Amino acid sequence: MAIVVVDYHKGNLSSVARGLVRAGGEALVSDRPEAIAAADAVVLPGVGSFADAMAYIDESGQGDAVLDVIAAGRPFLGICLGLQLLFDRGNEGAGDDGREWVEGLGVLSGSCTRLESARLKVPHVGWDSLDVTPLGRRCPLLDGVPEGTNMYFTHSYAVADDADPSVVAARTYYARSFPSVVWHGSVFGTQFHPEKSSGTGARVLENFVRITQGAA
C-alpha cells in the first residue's frame, strides 16, 4: 500500500510523510506524475499560493495524474492549499497576470477567496475549533474526532460561501465561516494541518491510512 505525497516544489513535505508513516502507512514523496497515478492513495499538501501551485501542477502533468486517481475512486486527501485546489477556482495570485481567477482542479464546485477582517489578524495562524456538520458525523476521516476539537491552521485564503454545502463535513469561524473539512466519495480535504495538530490530527491521518487500507 503506497500513499504518494505530491511534491510540487513549493516547500518541505517531510512532516506530512512522517505523520503518515507514524499512522501506519507507507508514504512516498514524489513529483513524478507516473508515481502519483500508480499510487494506492494520494495526499496533496498545503504549500505556496493557489496560482503558483496550479501553474506547476498543470505544467508538470501532476494535475492529470491526480484527476486519474480521483476518477478511479482511490483515496485522496488535500491539506490546506491542497483542499483549496480541489475547487473550481481561486483568486490568490490571480491579479499577478491580470486574471480575476485561477482555475483549480474542479473536483468540487466553489471558489477560494481571502479572509478579510478589520479586527482579526490575517493570516489565520493557530488553533481553532471544528463545527462538525451532519455529513461530518458520518465522515470516516473524522472518526473519533470530537465536536469542537481544536486543530492547527495557517492560511490567508479559504473556501467561500459558494461551495456546495453537500460536501462540507466541518466548518470553522475566523473572519467568516469557511469549510474546514470536505468529503465527497473517496475525496477528503482539511483546511487545517493534521500533521501539526497533535494527537487529534494524528487520529485524522490514522483514519486516512485505514481508509486507504480498506480501499486497497
Alpha-carbon dihedral 118, 192, 162, 63, rounded to 10 degrees: 130
- Neighbour tally for 38: CB within 10 Å: 14
- Neighbour tally for 59: CB within 10 Å: 10
Place of cell 469561524: 173
Write out the DSSP string of 142-187: GTT--TT-EEEEEESEEE-TTS-GGGEEEEEEESEEEEEEEEETTE
Residues recognised as catalytic? 80, 193, 195
C-alpha angle 164-167-172 in degrees, rounded to nearest 5: 90
How far is residue 78's CA from residue 6's CA, in Å, rounded to a whole number?
10
In this structure, are residues 47 and 20 in contact, taking their beta carbons and an 8 Å threshold?
no
In this structure, are residues 149 and 201 in contact, taking their beta carbons and an 8 Å threshold?
no
